[in-house]
Structure 1
Amino acid sequence: MSPDPTPPLATIAAALRYERQRVGISLTELARRAGIAKSTLSQLESGTGNPSVETLWALGVALDVPFSRLVEPPATTVRVIRAGDGPRIRSEHADLTCTLLTAGTAHARRDVYLIALEPGRVRIADPHTPRSVEHLVVGSGRLRCGPEHDQVELGPGDYATFPGDAPHRYEALEPGTFAVLVMEHP
């Protein structure tokens, strides 16, 4: 894989401003709801921050929008993301990288991600929006995932689905693990 490109800061900044104004709340209130510093949110809205997956998920939950709405650039008619390309965002708690492949529409609220993980650290995910569901297919390596109380181990080609609105985790069991994750949002 090529080195990580700069996060899609301009897209994130514009989306945060738009969604915050749509909800009608201040920077201070959004920062409070998301549990982040107001200065961090201010930097993100100005396009100068360096957001983690966890920060963007917290903001999405606070705004009641899917994560993808904060990182997806405007759509084109035909879109191709070559292997190793696309906007990648790293986790601050695990060796995990997410690449949003496609976001849902107003009529089909689902997002598709390619996630790459390495052994050593566990990605613990906070609950997403209520009634969200995760679908996961492993492409290579081995992965332990699912809700805190009901972990499963998956290998290449294995599929699992579980509630996204409860705490859950991802842990690579082999180097070079990657999977396709489909998030459904009500």
Structure 2
Amino acid sequence: MGVRVRKDVSGRAAQPGPREVVAAALRRERTRAALSLSELAARAGIAKSTLSQLESGGGNPSIETLWALCVALDIPFSRLLDPPRPSVHVIRAGEGQVVSAAVSHYQVALLAAGLPSSRRDIFRVTAEPGQPHRSQPHMAGVVEHVMLAEGRAMAGLAAEPVELRPGDYVQYPGDLPHVFEALAPGTWAILVNEYT
């Protein structure tokens, strides 16, 4: 999963590990939705064996696989990655649970999950030039906000992305196909997913 260890304020490694967090969350959310392994795998368009492996703490899920599961379960992405944490939460640059895309040089690290009343998640995105990261539509009503911190990128709806430079911001419907393409090495941005 290309995972880096998240640390708490005291510098101690946070427990449990990212694979265990994803495994427990998948089991919890599948049970909550009253779906069998076969039903959830079919809804997400993944193999039943892949889902079984993820629920047992194995495998190396890509962003695309986790998003497909979130759409099938109708849950925010953060619900699979965000374990309970203390009231003060610090993630240093370069730390956090990182999930990589299957094809492009694109990674996200969940920085903050929305509270049940706020319904938003905040991510740090890192990307390199090459293959653009193309995202399938998320749940209905999702709005994405991207603010570019460094580099250059094309971002937004797949049919009409816009070029961003450091400090630029774009908002677009996340429930339509969208894209993020780094145009310069070392490109990174803050991504906020807002759920209705």
TM-score range, shorter chain: over 0.9
Q: Which residue of 2 aligns with 1:65?
A: 75
Matched, 1:78 2:88: yes
- 1:57-136 map, 5 Å: 57-136=67-146
How far residue 4 of structure 1 moved from its aligned partner, in angstroms, is 4.4
Q: Kindly indicate whether the alpha-carbon contact (under 8 Å) linking 2:64 and 2:101 is maintained by their aligned counterparts in 1.
A: yes
Q: Kindly indicate whether the alpha-carbon contact (under 8 Å) linking 1:138 and 1:154 is maintained by their aligned counterparts in 2.
A: yes
Aligned partner of residue 166 in structure 1, secondary structure: coil
Aligned partner of residue 121 in structure 2, secondary structure: strand
Q: Which residue of 2 aligns with 1:145?
A: 155
Gapped runs of 5+ residues in structure 1?
A: none
Q: In the aligned structure 2, how far is the partner of 1:4 from the partner of 1:107?
A: 29
Across the aligned residues of Structure 1 and Structure 2, the Cα RMSD in angstroms comes to 1.2
Q: In the aligned structure 2, how far is the partner of 1:73 from the partner of 1:155?
A: 33
Q: In the aligned structure 2, how far is the partner of 1:66 from the partner of 1:99?
A: 14
* Amino acid corresponding to residue 116 of structure 1 in structure 2: T
Q: Which residue of 2 aligns with 1:169?
A: 179
- Give the ranges of 4+ consecutive aligned residues of structure 1 lying more than 4 Å apart after TM superposition: none
Q: In the aligned structure 1, how far is the partner of 2:120 from the partner of 2:3?
A: 25
Q: Percent identity?
A: 53
How far residue 64 of structure 1 moved from its aligned partner, in angstroms, is 0.1
* Amino acid corresponding to residue 179 of structure 1 in structure 2: A
Q: Which residue of 2 aligns with 1:50?
A: 60
How far residue 139 of structure 1 moved from its aligned partner, in angstroms, is 0.4
TM-score, normalization: structure 2? 0.92
Note the alpha carbon deviations across 1:107-143, whole angstroms, 9 max, x for none: 0000000000000111000100101000000000001
Describe the shift of the 1:128–1:140 C-alpha distance in structure 2 as closer, same or farther (beyond 3 A): same
The number of equivalent residue pairs is 184
Q: In the aligned structure 2, how far is the partner of 1:68 from the partner of 1:94?
A: 21
TM-score, normalization: structure 1? 0.96
Q: Which residue of 1 aligns with 2:11?
A: none
